[in-house]
Structure 1
């Protein structure tokens, strides 16, 4: 059973393949020219999607078509080339061009997940009996399309992560003149308001001690996006130890979410050759 339906997997692979450098099937410097052929990039890409979705180990996902060491080495090669970050950037640009990012309404919030193996950005989790955990300070547009995240240990408070998260707006190109940032009560402080005022942003912050439904503002979009990201089990229970690898898997997951949203929202307004016969 495929990890993703073909209407989503094929456009993802077509764009990802366009970012990869050309490699010969056999290494040209081999003296005999008859050594083992290079494993197909499509096979490794499918394995990475399986790892992302199921959260299992590299050894568990490896088979006769591709070994665990090949998956790791090809993953690291693509990270060095900046393929994953560029992949996500193209997805956001395409979404913005066809549907339009809702950048005048921004939602930011933190989410804590498990990190059993520790790692560079892991810390003692205050909600998991002090076990190792990972916090991500995520940012979405007004519909819930993930724009980026800042990784930190689970023992970090949300408020100090607001400034580096807002810095991610600089890479999104032209921004609206007025932007409203929706935050929960964890950001209800004078420091947060000063940070927003210094950047010329409007803040809609829930007040501490006052009960309010999450639907009262636009903050529920980031909560839904956290749920989308946690459906990829490698992010919900992260065994990776290096930050660059974790970011690569997040970029891959965010790209899947953005392209899926793009296809679903443009299904009734656009026509293309590979358009699904019914709304996905």
Structure 2
């Protein structure tokens, strides 16, 4: 059974392949003019999707078609080229063009996941008996499309991460004149309100000590997005130690989430030759 359905994996691969540089099948620097054939980029891309979705190790998904060393080397090459970040940006641009990002209503919240191997952005988790954990401060639009995230150790509070998270808005181009930021009670402080006021943002912040259903505000969108991201088991239990690798995996997951939402939402308004035969 494939990791992703073909209606989702094929457009992702076509756009990803368009971002890759042309490489010869054989190494031109070999003295005899021959060498082992280069493993196809599509093979490595599919292996990375398996790694991201199932959360297994590189050795577990390696086989006769591709070794664990090749997967890591090609992953690092693509990170240096900025392919993962560019794929996510193109997915956002396509979604904004065809559906439209709801930037007048955004939500920010933190999410703590396990990081058994530690690493550059891991820290002692206050909710997991001091074990190593990873916190991401996620930014989403009014529908829940992931716009970016800030990585930190699990021992960091949400409030200090709010400012760098909101800084991610500058990369989105023109913004609405009025933006409402939906936050949970963890951000209920004078410092948060001052920060939002300095940036001319309206804050809808849950009050500490007051019970209210999560649907009372718009912050449930970011909670749903965290659930979408945690469905990729490599993110829910992160064994990567380098921040740039974790960011690359998040960019790939966010691109998948964005393209999936795009296809589902335009199914009734657009027609294309690979359009799924039934509503998703």
- Any residues of structure 2 matched to 1:67-78 within 5 Å, and which? 67-78=67-78
In 1: Cα distance, 2:208 partner to 2:121 partner: 28
* 1:49 paired to 2:53: no
* Distance apart, 1:34 and its partner CA: 2.0
Q: What's the counterpart of residue 98 of structure 1?
A: 98
Give the 3-state SS of the residue equivalent to 1:203 in structure 2.
Answer: strand
Q: Which runs of 4+ in 1 moved over 6 A?
A: none
Aligned residue for 1:249, secondary structure, equals helix
| Distance of 1:264 and 1:240 partners within structure 2 | 31
Distance (whole Å) between structure 2 residues aligned to residue 52 and residue 173 of structure 1: 29
Aligned to 1:270: 270
Equivalent in the alignment of 1:193: 193
SS in 2 for 1:137: strand
Distance 2:27 2:62 in 1: 23
Gaps of 5+ in 2: none
3-state DSSP class of the match of 2:111? Answer: strand
Contact 2:27 2:34 (C-alpha < 8 Å) held by counterparts: no
Per-residue deviation, residues 142-190 of structure 1 (Å, max 9, x unmatched): 0000000000000000000000000000000110010000000000000
Secondary structure of 2:24's aligned partner? coil
Partner of 1:228: 228
Structure 2 SS opposite 1:33? coil
Question: Any gaps of 5 or more consecutive residues in structure 1?
Answer: none
Q: Which residue of 1 aligns with 2:22?
A: 22
Deviations 1:68-102, CA, capped at 9 Å, x for gaps: 00000000000000000000000000000000000
Distance 1:60 1:215 in 2: 41
Q: CA deviation at 1:31?
A: 1.2
TM-score, normalised by the number of residues in structure 1? 1.00
Counterpart of 1:30 in 2: which secondary structure? Answer: coil
Distance 2:30 2:117 in 1: 39
Whole-Å separation in 2 of the counterparts to 1:33 and 1:168: 48
RMSD: 0.4
TM-score, structure 2 length as denominator? 1.00
Alignment partners' CA distance in 2, 1:82 and 1:90: 12
For residue 260 of structure 2, what is the aligned residue in structure 1? 260
Name the CA distance, whole Å, in 1 between partners of 2:65 and 2:29.
Answer: 24
The superposition leaves residues 209-246 of structure 1 with CA deviations (integer Å, 9 ceiling, x where unpaired) of: 00010001111000000000000000000000000000
Q: How many residues align?
A: 280
Instruction: Give yes or no for contact 2:55–2:237 (8 Å, CA) kept in 1.
Output: yes
Alignment partner of 2:269: what SS?
Answer: coil
